[in-house]
């Protein structure tokens, strides 16, 4: 079936280090969305990528959509303690959003 795989499952970094999470789909995606879920909270929409090879930036966050529209990445430069949470990618397939398993980021001050 349709699957969106995300790695790594966990990432522990020292504050100031960079962080990257990767998302891969077995099928071509119409779009990719990224969400952040703080501990005990709900997913919050961060960004959407639609075009092949698209790159978008939000301050220290850089999002990429692969040329084949089957993979995506989120890179955070110089992490801060406020970046703590689980980051999910979600691929648009057939009008539905298929979420990855998420990458849980912890930041040590």
Partner 1 sequence: DAGVTQSPTHLIKTRGQHVTLRCSPISGHKSVSWYQQVLGQGPQFIFQYYEKEERGRGNFPDRFSARQFPNYSSELNVNALLLGDSALYLCASSLVTGGFQPQHFGDGTRLSIL
Give the residues lining the site for partner 1 (CB under 8 A): 1, 6, 30-31, 33, 35, 41-45, 48, 50, 88, 90, 92-102
C-alpha distances (whole Å) from 89 to each of 16, 37, 95 are 23, 11, 16
Nearer residue to partner 1 within complex by CB, 43 or 85: 43
Nearer residue to partner 1 within complex by CB, 6 or 79: 6
Residue 46: exposure state from Cβ atoms within 10 A (0-12, 13-18, ≥19): middle
Nearer residue to partner 1 within complex by CB, 10 or 80: 10
Residue 15 phi, psi dihedral angles, 5° rounding:
-55, 135
Provide, rounded to whole angstroms, the least separation between the CB of residue 39 and partner 1: 12
Euclidean distance between CA atoms 37 and 43, whole angstroms = 4
Nearer residue to partner 1 within complex by CB, 13 or 98: 98
Helix (H, G, I), strand (E, B) or coil at 92: strand
Provide, rounded to whole angstroms, the least separation between the CB of residue 40 and partner 1: 9
């Amino acid at each position: 079936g349709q699957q969106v795989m995300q790695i790594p499952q966990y990432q522990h970094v020292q504050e100031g280090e960079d962080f990257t999470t990767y998302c891969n789909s077995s099928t071509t995606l119409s779009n990719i969305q990224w969400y952040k879920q703080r501990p005990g909270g709900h997913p919050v929409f961060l960004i959407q990528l639609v075009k092949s090879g698209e790159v978008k930036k939000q301050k220290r966050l850089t999002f990429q959509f692969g040329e084949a529209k089957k993979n995506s990445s989120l890179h955070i430069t110089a992490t801060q303690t406020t970046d703590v949470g689980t980051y999910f990618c979600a691929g648009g397939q057939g009008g539905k959003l298929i979420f990855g398993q998420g990458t849980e980021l912890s930041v040590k001050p």
